[in-house]
Amino acid sequence: MAAAGSVKAALQVAEVLETIMSSCLGPEGRQILCTKPTGEVLLSRDGSRLLEALHLDHPMARVMVACVSSHLRKTGDGAKTFIIFLCHLLRELHAVTDKGKDSFISKNIQTHERHWKNCCQWKYISQALLTFQTQILDYVMDHYLSRHFLSIFSSSTEERMLRRSSFELLLETYFCGRVGRNNHSFISELMCDYFFKCMACESEFEEVFELVDDYFVELNIGVTGLPVADSRIVAGLVLHRDFSVYCPADGDIRIVLATETIQPVFSTSGSEFILNSEAQFQTSQFWIVERTKAIMKYLQTQNVKLLLSSVKQPDLVIYYAELNGISVVECLSSEEISLIQRITSLSPFVLPQASSHHEVLNTAVVKFCKPLILRSKRYAHLGLISTCSFIPHCIVLCGPVQGLVQQHEDALHGAFKMLQQIFKDLDLNYMTQISDQNYTSNPLIYKTRESNQSSELVNDSIQRTYQGIDVKNKDELAKTQTYLKVYSNVVIPSVELEACISCSTPKVTPTDTYQADKTLRCLSANPRMIDDHDPFIVSDPTTDSTTENTRIEISYKNVLITKIAGIGNMLPERCKSLEVSSSQSYCFSSIPAGCVLPVGGNFEILLHYYLLNYAKKSQRSEATLVSVIIANALLSIPQILYKSKKGNHSFPQIYIRTLRALQANQPVVSSQTGLESVSGKYQVLTSVLQCLTKILTIDLVISIKRQPQKIHDQDSEEEL
Amino acid sequence: MFRLEAKKPSLCKSEPLTSERVRATLSVLKGVLTSCYGPSGRLKQLHNGLGGSVRTTSQSSALLANLSVTHPILKILTTSVQNHVSCFSDCGLFTGILCCNLIENVHRMGLTPTTAIKLNKHLLSLCTSYLKSEVCGCRIPVNFSSTQILLCLVRSVLTSKPACMLTRKEIEHISTLILRAFLLTIPENTKDHIILGKSIIVPLKGQRVIDSTVLPGILIEMSEVQLMKILPFKKSDSFKVALFRVSLSGDLSDTGEGTVVVNYGVSLENAVLDQLLNLGRQLVGDHVDLVMCQKVIHPSLKQFLSMHHVTAIDRVGVALMEPLSKMTGTQPIGSLSSISPSSYGSVKDLCTEKFGFKWFFHLIPNEETVCSLLLGNRNDTVWDELKLTCETALHVLQLTIKEPCVLLGGGCTETHLAAYIRHQILHWKTREENNTCKYKTLNKPESILKDGWCTQTELQLTTEAFCSALESLTGSLEHDGGEILTDMKYGHLWSVQADSPSVVHWPDLLSRCGCGLYSSQEELNWSFLRSAQRPFAPQPCLPHEAVGSANNLTLDCFTAKLSGLKVAVETANLILDLSYIIEDKN
């Protein structure tokens, strides 16, 4: 069986998925109920979960789901946006080719041949898409969009500090897409409180993210049957077990961890215990009892009031623990043990050998230890004192049904994953082909952005082309907008470049963009040699005076190093054009950590605007076509978001207002409060484009009867 | 992805609530729940076609646990009610019916779910802040110096469960017993916080209800033969008790992961038995009078102990361990040798009791925080129902201690609340102008309108849907075709017999309102609950003299009802918010 793989088939599939996804997108999105074969009922607005629950059968759909899941493995967010983008791209493509069909293909060619022709055409388009993604998109992101970026870090110092207000806005946006409409503000407040309570020191938030992500299950407790508003944060760690023995204690409470039974046993594994007489048996039993008694007594003298054990302790141990006023919690999971170890850096208790009690006992201090009763279930509640940057707190999540509690748990966990993502720099890591002969003769494998490598390359190329290097502030570029004016400034010789790059601390992400430009003229007219190892300071006063506070952090992190390529190798028109993305350039830039934009389709409308602008100026027809298609498809997200809004807040109104503001160079005012990650959006867009190229290059779907090969099985291990 | 091949694709349905089938099933469920509601509610007989016991009930917990629903929406609704009941024991039917009503009303009025959900939330917060405020006209603070209100509360719980089949006299008897059992669990000398004891319900199936009683301490059921063996007890004013957690049967404890080799001729049984007898000697030496063991006691040890006039009772079971150790003050012993003297406890007296054909061993404690409630009823199914009701009543009393106030029952709270909400929403404008706003509410309606996401009409319609959901809930208290009225002063509920003449002087027909607080002799105006009403401000702040004088009020648990209200609205919102259902067909 073979079926033609075409845009039309893919579009049909994508449209079905889109109707489902668009119903739960954004703050106005609704819930979807999923039932499991086991009879469990789950509420969800999580795109990946829904796609998984659908168990799709169609081959095209499976390709899409595979693409979404590989995207999610990378970023953990954006499944719904992915599907909607993809659908609209396909729709645009379909519309474009439908129109052009008559001119391309004459009517008398048979259908089959026409299909093959079509496929060749799709292949062509998919290549154009790839070029778009690697060249135009990153360029537009870097040059135009970046001027709108905001950062969620608060101060202008090198240390990255979180600003609570923007953090709240960011979370609010995230939960708008994940939990029910009545609960998002509540849950996002809860999460925000939780995070700031857990954080010991502002600068080490990344560790907190990592820890909470790793031990999320241990750090929250679901309670069903109570209204959602009863959810709360409790200080300390709540273990999902009850005390086996509880002895109330206050003051200096010390705890020990046990990973084996404290009572000695007759024989350990691999050994043999030979009983020769009844007396021997009685003596050894007596010894065991005495030994246990002695150990527990010893623990008491060390002020131990709580014994945490990963195994079930025998009755004897429990009895002596109670006699000595030691509370016991048994059967802790290995995750709980390792969480406690991580918080308190406590190592497990080692049974002292023979009668030597002189070994140093590993104990930790807790502030309190008491039972916590939630819905008639008892938990052990410990006030651990942290030795790391995480102050233990637990979230108690309430809800009328398990499905809702589960949804909130998933959303909170996802939020921590999202935050981890946002605090990473994202490289717009791409390299364009060089038409310059000087360069092509030089096999440059240029994948990393390690500073020595890049400086080597720069040195190398500088020697060859004998050019100056321009180090300038990127944000200033965004601000002043005129290219020539920006390129005013610091010119340092190649020797200094090394120093400059190496002096950029790990906190600072150098954004190296090597551009060929007509500014060469003005630069070569007045070459200045400034012996300055720290270009940041040079640009300091100007940025301070010209840019807003929020922009400053970005500006420090983004240093644009511009290299001027040889003028002789450039085509005259290219030289004149202001666009730098032409084939003579090397671009390595990045979206710095913590970059955000206001919500409500801001990213999409901005990118739409700049892509259209680009398309107008571009000479190549396929680039124009692809840019326009993508620009139009981008609008689908804000269209859905504003679907229910009326009057002044309807989509056309917002769209026109934004475009006017952009044309007039005024700041874009957003009606929405809330922020979203730029890198997340960007990654969705690139993943969609990759997925689309994959779909377009398929011309025939052949269904096979035999079992899929082993190779595929391994892939399927990683489900959504 | 290839693994998914084996799975069948899921079934995806859009806008589930618009489907006629779903609505029909919802209304069937609503019908089942409504017909059970209240003192005159109809009973449901649950039986398995293949045989087994038959259960007659009108309680949500028993009903929903046995009802298997297939539709996912109903599943959400029923689990939500069940979860609520497992937290609060009471107000399960209230939650379920209110939730059904809300969904139905929103649909009937043709409101868009999105705005209805948001508005429902606002109305709910209006309700909760009113119920929690001082001016609330349907809340009574509990005075613990008299048992009047607590007794009314217990009696209301009992009367609302018709499947217990109790007469008026029996209700009086059982409610006093429950209250006594509860009061016995409160420790006498309390420090900072009270730790309540436990009341254990002991079955006396087949006995008369009137024979039910409460005894302090713990009763352990025994056969007559066994009991005769351990008789007679010696006379003493205090008995020393040892309670064993570890088995005294002489089995070998865990020997570790390695192997244990026993040479020929070595008898471990003898060795262990020696150990047990040593233990027996120690117990006798320590003057222990009563030995109890969670597990089994070796017959030889038993023999030895009885020879020395020590009473031995084994197979107590894990459920009784905690109350036993609490009551006697013992520490459950986990060792076969060297028992610390501090782990012994004591009881005041030991005796035997006989109820019907059952014999009990009775431990009477020194300090009474544990008691046994011996419950009798005619047959199994009625007994089960009565037991559940007693547990509910005890739980409700515990909740009331935590939050010392009660709500008016008999539907009066609901009608009062509906009148309040209606008035708040429809008259916020005039109130604002006259500046007569007496109540400070958290969410003023004007702020809802200002945000611009809903119109005045939508607000009014949703309010109507919400209030009529509350009112039709009280309407379902009436099962015999009678009419429900409300007065225009307090907003309370009054019910009229079915076959009453149409035009009459109302005070002649009505005697007292649903909760029993007001009598019809006051100058009041009545109107039918179903008819369109003129919104009025129900009188806030209960008069103290009225509460004091009335001694036969119908009351509801405050905590359970408040949480039930919240859960009902939240669940309804959840169900209204559904846009798709994805059913996994595997």
Regarding whether B435 and B553 lie in a shared domain, the answer is: yes
Q: What's residue A533's pLDDT?
A: 36
What pLDDT, on a 0 to 100 scale, did the predictor assign at position B391? 95
Q: Each residue of A4-52: pLDDT tens digit?
A: 667 788 888 899 999 988 888 888 888 999 988 888 888 988 888 888 8
| DSSP sequence for A560-588 | EEEEPPPGGGS-HHHHHSS---STT-EEE
- Structural element, H or E, at residue A243: strand A243-245
B279: CB partners within 8 A, 6+ apart: B248, B301, B336, B337, B339
Pull the structure tokens for residue A557.
């992190």
Strand partners, B564: none
Is residue B543 located within the same domain as residue B445?
Answer: yes
Name the residue with higher pLDDT: A529 or A679: A679
Domains of chain B: total: 3
Kindly state whether residues B440 and B549 are assigned to the same domain. Answer: yes
Q: Which of B317, B352, B367 is the last residue of a domain?
A: B367
**CA geometry: angle at A205 spanning A200 and A208, to 5°?**
80
Q: Is B51 on the interface with A (CB under 8 A)?
A: no
Same domain? B472 vs B527: yes
Per DSSP, the residues of A80-126 read: HHHHHHHHHHHHHHHHHHHHHHHHHS-TTS-HHHHHHHHHHHHHHHH
Point out the residue among A31, A399, A712 whose CB comes nearest to the CB of B577: A31
Give the chain B residue nearest A28 (alpha carbons): B114
Most B CBs within 10 Å: which of A289, A319, A717, as the mutation test of the B interface?
Answer: A319
In this structure, of A156-170, A211-225, A440-454, B35-49, the range with the lowest mean pLDDT score is: A440-454
Judged against a pLDDT cut of 80, whether residue A78 lies above it is answered with yes
Interface test with B, best of A42, A69, A266 (most B CBs within 10 A): A266
Cβ contact, residue pair B4, A400, below 8 Å:
no
Report the 3 state secondary structure along A663-706: HCCCCCCCCCCCEEEHHHHHHHHHHHHHHHHHHHHCCEEECCCC
Query: Would you say residue B54 lies in a domain?
Result: yes
Residue B234 within any structural domain of the chain: yes
**First vs last C-alpha separation in chain B:** 16
Quick check: A418 and A681 in contact, CB under 8 A? Answer: no
Residue A451 has pLDDT above 60, yes or no: no
pLDDT of res. B575: 94
Which domains occur in chain A, in start order?
A: 2-148+679-717 (no CATH), 164-231+394-424 (3.30.260), 237-391 (3.50.7.10), 426-592 (no CATH)
- Mean per-residue pLDDT, B342-359: 89
When the pLDDT of each residue in chain A is averaged and rounded to a whole number, the result is 72
pLDDT at A161 (0 to 100) = 66
B271 or A590: which leads in pLDDT: B271
ipTM: 0.89
C-alpha–C-alpha distance, residues A98 and A94, integer Å: 6
B500 pLDDT exceeds 60?
yes
**Closest-CA distance of chain A to residue B295, Å:** 13
Per the rule left: phi > 0, alpha: psi between -120 and 50, beta: everything else, A559 is beta
Phi, psi of A399 (to 5 degrees): -175, 155
Q: Say how many Å lie between the first and final Cα of chain A, rounded.
A: 28
pLDDT digits (tens, 9 = 90+) for B420-448: 998 888 776 554 444 434 444 444 555 66
Give the model confidence (pLDDT) of B454-479 as tens digits: 788 888 899 999 999 999 999 888 88
- Would you list the DSSP string of A434-465? ---HHHHTS--------HHHHHHHHHHHHHHH
Give domain status of residue B1, yes or no.
no
Say yes or no to pLDDT of B273 above 60. yes
Q: Which residues of B touch A289 (CB under 8 A)?
A: 335-338
User: Is there a domain that residue B84 lies in?
Assistant: yes
pLDDT at residue A262, as a whole number: 85
Alpha carbon distance A689, B273 (integer Å): 79
Residues 526..585 of A with a Cβ closer than 8 Å to B: which?
none
For residue A693, which of A136, A13, A125, A132 has the smallest C-alpha distance?
Answer: A125
A135-144, A171-180, A608-617, B250-259: the lowest-pLDDT one: B250-259
pLDDT, tens only, B97-119: 999 999 999 999 888 888 899 89
Mean pLDDT over A617-636 rounds to 83
> Residue B2: inside a domain, yes or no?
no
Residues B500 and B552 in one domain: yes
Q: What's CA A552's distance to the chain center, in Å? A: 24
Q: Is B453 helix (H, G, I), strand (E, B) or coil?
A: coil
Only one residue has tokens 């039930």, namely B564
Report yes or no: B266 at the A interface, CB cutoff 8 Å. yes
Averaged pLDDT, B398-415: 91
B569 Cα distance to chain centroid? 20
Choose among B517, B420, B425: nearest CA to B462: B425
Phi-psi region of B256 (alpha: psi -120 to 50; beta: other; left: phi over 0): left
CB contact under 8 A, B2 and A716: yes
Residue B6, in any domain of the structure: no
Contact B406, B140 (CB under 8 A): yes
| Chain B environment of A273 (Cβ under 8 Å) | 255-256, 258-261
What is the CATH number for B465?
A: 1.10.560.10
The rounded mean pLDDT for chain B is: 86
Q: Cα dist. A116→A97, A126, A470, A703 in Å?
A: 14, 15, 50, 19
pLDDT classification of B502: cutoffs 50, 70, 90? low
Q: Residue A439: its pLDDT value, please?
A: 34
**What residue has token string 């090394």?**
A498
Which positions 375-394 of A are in contact with B (Cβ < 8 Å)?
Answer: 375-376
Backbone angles phi, psi at B383, to 5 degrees: -65, -45
Residue contact B266–A276, C-beta within 8 A: yes
pLDDT tens profile A284-324: 888 888 888 988 898 888 889 999 999 999 888 999 999 99
Assess whether B413 and B546 both reside in one domain: yes
CB A25 within 8 A of CB A718: no
Contacts of B251 in chain A (CB under 8 A): none
- Is residue B201 left, alpha or beta, with left meaning phi > 0 and alpha meaning psi from -120 to 50? beta
Asked if B443 and B488 count as a contact pair (C-beta separation under 8 A), the reply is: no
Long-range CB pairs of A343-349, under 8 A, 24+ apart, other chains included: A343/A237, A343/A384, A343/A386, A343/A387, A343/A388, A343/A390, A343/A392, A344/A384, A344/A385, A344/A386, A344/A387, A345/A387, A345/A388, A346/A255, A346/A256, A346/A257, A347/A257, A348/A257, A348/A258, A348/A259, A349/A256, A349/A257, A349/A258, A349/A259
What is the phi-psi region of residue B89: left when phi exceeds 0, alpha when psi lies from -120 to 50, beta otherwise? Answer: left
State yes or no: pLDDT of A450 exceeds 80.
no
Q: Are both B462 and B533 inside the same structural domain?
A: yes
- Closest CB to B9: pick one of A57, A399, A403: A57
Residue-range definition of the domain harbouring residue B207: 143-216+374-403
Q: In chain A, which among 145-204 make CB contacts under 8 A with chain B?
A: 180-182
Q: Give the C-alpha separation, A586 to A632, whole Å.
A: 28
pLDDT at A473 over 60: no
B76, B258, B585: residue with CB nearest A271 = B258
Distance CA B531, CA A354 (A): 87
CA torsion, points B271, B275, B281, B287, in degrees to nearest 10?
A: -160
Instruction: Note the pLDDT of residue B99.
Output: 96
Shortest Cα distance, chain A CAs vs residue B201, angstroms: 18
Cα B294 from Cα B113, distance rounded (Å) = 57
Contacts of B561 in chain A (CB under 8 A): none
Domain identity same for B494 and B550: yes
Residues A103-112: pLDDT tens digits? 444 444 456 6
Pairing of strands B578-583, B370-377: unpaired
Q: Quick check: B254 and A268 CB within 8 A? A: no
Least confident window among A413-417, A610-614, B182-186, B480-484: B480-484
What's the token pair of residue A658? 């934004």
Categorise residue B584: left if φ over 0, alpha if ψ from -120 to 50, beta otherwise. Answer: beta
- Residue-wise pLDDT for B226-271, tens only, equals 888 877 777 788 899 999 998 898 877 667 777 888 888 888 888 8
Residue-wise pLDDT tens digits, A123-143: 788 888 888 887 788 888 877
* pLDDT at res. A567: 29
Residue B12 token pair: 């995806």
Fill in the amino acid letter for B229. K
Predicted confidence (pLDDT) at residue A566 exceeds the cutoff of 60: no
Tokens of A591: 């979206």
**Can you name the residues that pair with A255 across neighbouring β-strands?**
A306, A364
B422 lies in the same domain as B567: yes
- Tell me the one-letter amino acid at A54: L
B267 touching A (Cβ < 8 Å):
yes
Domain-embedded: residue B187:
yes
Interchain pair A282, B571: CB under 8 A? no
Q: Does A268 touch chain B (CB under 8 A)?
A: yes
- Whether residues B476 and B513 share a domain: the answer is yes
Instruction: Evaluate if residue A600 carries a pLDDT over 90.
Output: no
- Listed residue (B361, B334, B99, B86) closest to B223, CA to CA: B361
CA angle A590–A596–A602, rounded 5-degree value: 110
Residue B469, judged by CB atoms within 10 A of its CB (0-12, 13-18, 19+), counts as buried
Question: In what side-by-side order are the strands of the sheet with B358-364?
Answer: B218-222, B358-364, B349-355
Residue A66: list chain B partners with CB under 8 A: 1
Instruction: Let me know if residue B4 belongs to a domain.
Output: no
> What is the rounded CA–CA span in Å between residue B224 and residue B358?
8
pTM, entire model: 0.83
Q: Give the burial string for A160-190 (b: 16+ CB within 10 Å, else e).
A: bebbeebbbbbbbbbbbbbbbbbbbeebbeb
C-beta pairs of A215-219 under 8 Å, 24+ apart in sequence: A215/A335, A215/A338, A215/A339, A215/A342, A216/A409, A216/A412, A216/A413, A216/A416, A217/A335, A218/A333, A218/A335, A218/A336, A218/A339, A219/A339, A219/A392, A219/A393, A219/A394, A219/A395
What does the pLDDT look like over A483-529, one tens digit per residue?
Answer: 323 333 333 333 333 333 333 333 333 333 333 333 333 333 333 33
Q: CB–CB of A386/A197 below 8 Å?
A: no
Amino acid at B329: G
Residues 521-580 of B with CB under 8 A from A: 563, 566-567, 570-571, 573-574, 577-580
Using the structure block, give the residue that is written with the tokens 């000479």. A619
Residue that finishes a domain, picked among B403, B424, B459 = B403
State how far the Cα of A196 lies from the Cα of A370, in Å rounded to an integer. 24
Detail the DSSP E strand segments found in B147-222: 198-205, 213-216, 218-222
What 8-state DSSP symbol labels residue A718?
S
Q: Does B435 touch chain A (CB under 8 A)?
A: no
- Give the integer Cα–Cα distance in Å for B509 and B480: 16
What percent of chain A is modeled with pLDDT above 70?
A: 68
Identify whether the C-beta of residue B527 lies closer than 8 Å to the C-beta of residue B486.
Answer: yes
For B339, counting Cβ atoms within 10 Å of its Cβ (0-12 exposed, 13-18 middle, 19+ buried), the class is buried
Q: In this structure, what CATH number is given to the domain that contains residue B323?
A: 3.50.7.10
Q: Is B243:B321 a contact under the CB 8 Å cutoff?
A: yes
Question: Are B579 and B436 in the same domain?
Answer: yes
Residues 6 or more apart whose CB falls under 8 angstroms from that of B105 comprise: B464, B465, B466, B468, B469
Q: What is the CATH number of the domain that holds B172?
A: 3.30.260.10
Q: What pLDDT, on a 0 to 100 scale, did the predictor assign at position A265?
A: 79
Q: Do B207 and B298 lie in a common domain?
A: no
